[in-house]
Structure 1
Amino acid sequence: MELDMAAAELKAVLNRLRRAQGQISGVIRMIEEGRDCEDVVTQLAAASRALDRAGFAIIATGLQQCLTEMEDGSRSGADTDEMRGRLEKLFLSLA
């Protein structure tokens, strides 16, 4: 499955991933510094949410592409069913 993301969508996903990357770096630093457990877990949860949101944005783009291809007739029914199954599996992996 190849996703063709528009520049704005791609930028938003990359920003979320960079934010998560920064949060994970912060968590590592906090652990190394012996920071409070509650603070570490709070930052870890924020990083997890950022990753989830990036994943959901990618899946939403895939669903949108699939629907567009169905409407313009460039994807057959069998292809659509296969794509739906793959996107469903990806979605569930994030749930």
Structure 2
Amino acid sequence: MSLQEQFDKAAVNVKNLKALPSNDDLLVLYANFKQATVGDADPANRPGMLDLKGKAKFDAWLARKGTSKDDAIKAYIAKVESLIASIGLQ
């Protein structure tokens, strides 16, 4: 199975976890997904002061700046696999 196929499968599996992951886990998933699909975040597009959730997500993504697409995909897959091991699938 190719890396892209593994990534696509992980993206489906994450939606079928038995429970919602912690906020920290969700930020890691979001940041790696965005880095893998969009690339580096542009600091000029950071959400405003009142959008706390948006800023947290953006900052997590920005922290991955410079990470290659393949590395972000691998990190995303690894995180999903660890969540499946700890939480399980429906």
| Normalised TM-score (structure 1) | 0.41
> Which structure: larger Rg?
1
The structure whose residues are more often helix, as a share, is 1
| Normalised TM-score (structure 2) | 0.43
